[in-house]
Amino acid sequence: MFKHKWRVARIFGININIDPSWLIIFFLFTWSLGGQFFPARYPEWPRSLAWLMGLLTSLLVFASVLVHELSHSLVARQQGEKVNDITLFLLGGVAQINDEPKKPLREFGMAIVGPLSSFVLAGLFFLLSVFLHRASAPLSAAALTLAVINTGLGVFNLLPGFPMDGGRVLRSILWQATGDMRKATRIASAVGQGIAFLLMALGFLQVLRGVFSGLWLVFIGWFLQSAAAHGYEQVVVRSVLQGVKAKDLMSKTFATVPASLTIQALVDDFILERKDRVFMVMEGEELRGIVCLEDVKATPRQDWPRSRVRDIMTPKERLEAVSPETDGQLILRSLAAKDINQVPVMESGRLEGIICRTDLLRYIKLKTELGL
């Protein structure tokens, strides 16, 4: 969902992006407000006015979501976290904050400020609707609608399931009480998954009764469920890699292959025959790049006889070497951020080893299976 997004603004130095999926929800909101809700509630309004107010309200709903996410981001930044950007998408907004908070109290502040800002906005829109009552009935109605929607946003986000704000609040409290972040996350994401299944069940019931907007609840529940499960995984991965260094993860043996080798030959002669997994790609005497098993797997089978190793390798220019002492969590994050599969480990200009994404994943799997 986040591959191609449009950058639309920059506020307090934070990039504001719009994911294409946002257009769907924006259209749905405008349509249900301008085409259904306002005409039903205010039949005396002309159609065009209802649509205009629908559009305006819808725009302000997303401005409100943006304020909510900005509040998270600003508190996070004040606590020294790096905020990458904010993206509006199908299900609202998400602030990309580089790291998990390091102390429970910080997480509490970072999480609670979102719902609080929604409630403050609700209050402001309510006052505005009172204030505008005489001047303009339609604007007053739009403001009242925004007050209700923001209240709903605040309440929904306070549901105590991780990774929603309320779930983060719950986690921070459990974390403070037990001193164990992993355990706190496990409980909060279990509650999160419980809430997600409840939402899905409610949605299904609605659909069975002929209310098709119930599908929306099913969808939100499904999204939350995977986010809760994934959020816990991330915490596990982080805690498994804590204190693990590049030198513990790297492969020290690697074969050399020519850049012109076909992938088929690489698979047949090197991977299957010699059980190698990491390859230095050479052109003559010169290193051109690195290839791992992942790169091969990402290439469609029918292309293997034609494609060359040089087509799928990570070229030398994109490889950024780390030292044997570099932190494992940092490596995993940078592989994900750069969308590459391998990183060379160098010390004083000498190649010590290579870390592939599979090495990292294997290490994590092994350690969690052994319950370490």
Range in contact with Zn ion (rule: CB under 5 A) among 12-20, 163-171, 280-288, 335-343: 163-171
Q: Considering only residues 319-338, where is the footprint of Zn ion by CB under 5 A? A: none
Instruction: Determine the interface stretch with Zn ion among 56-64, 151-159, 264-272, 330-338 (rule: CB under 5 A).
Output: 151-159
If one asks whether residue 165 binds Zn ion (CB under 5 A), the answer comes out as yes
Q: 140, 133 in Cβ contact below 8 A?
A: yes
Please return the burial class of 98, using the count of CB atoms within 10 Å of its CB with bins 0-12, 13-18 and 19+: exposed
End-to-end Cα spacing for the chain: 34
Distance in Å, CB of 109 to Zn ion, minimum: 13
- Total residues at interface with Zn ion (CB under 5 A): 3
Would you call 69 a catalytic residue per the annotation?
A: yes
Instruction: Return the half-sphere exposure (C-beta side, CA atoms, 13 A cut-off) of residue 350.
Output: 4
CB of 114 to Zn ion, least distance (A): 3
User: Which CB sits closer to Zn ion, 114 or 192?
Assistant: 114
Q: By CB under 5 A, is residue 276 in contact with Zn ion? A: no
Which residues partner with 291 through β-bridges?
A: 279
Tell me how far apart the alpha carbons of residues 366 and 163 are, in angstroms, rounded to a whole number. 26
From candidates 39, 54, 101, 114, binder to Zn ion by CB under 5 A: 114
Task: Kindly provide the b/e burial profile for residues 50-62, where b requires at least 16 CB atoms within 10 angstroms of the residue's own CB.
Answer: bbbbbbbbbebbb
Instruction: List the beta bridge partners of residue 6.
Output: 18
Query: From the CB of 201, what's the least distance to Zn ion, in Å?
Result: 24
* Complex with Zn ion: residue 157 or 326, whichever CB lies closer: 157
Quote the CA–CA distance of 123 and 115 in Å, as a whole number. 12
Contacting range for Zn ion; rule: CB under 5 A; set: 7-15, 164-172, 311-319, 337-345:
164-172
What tokens does 319 get? 């490889």
Instruction: Give me the residues paired with residue 163 across strands.
Output: none
- The two tokens of residue 77 are 């930044």
Shortest Cβ distance from residue 74 to Zn ion (Å)? Answer: 12
Question: Does residue number 359 form part of the binding site for Zn ion (CB under 5 A)?
Answer: no
Residues that bind Zn ion (CB under 5 A): 114, 157, 165
What residues are annotated to the active site? Answer: 69
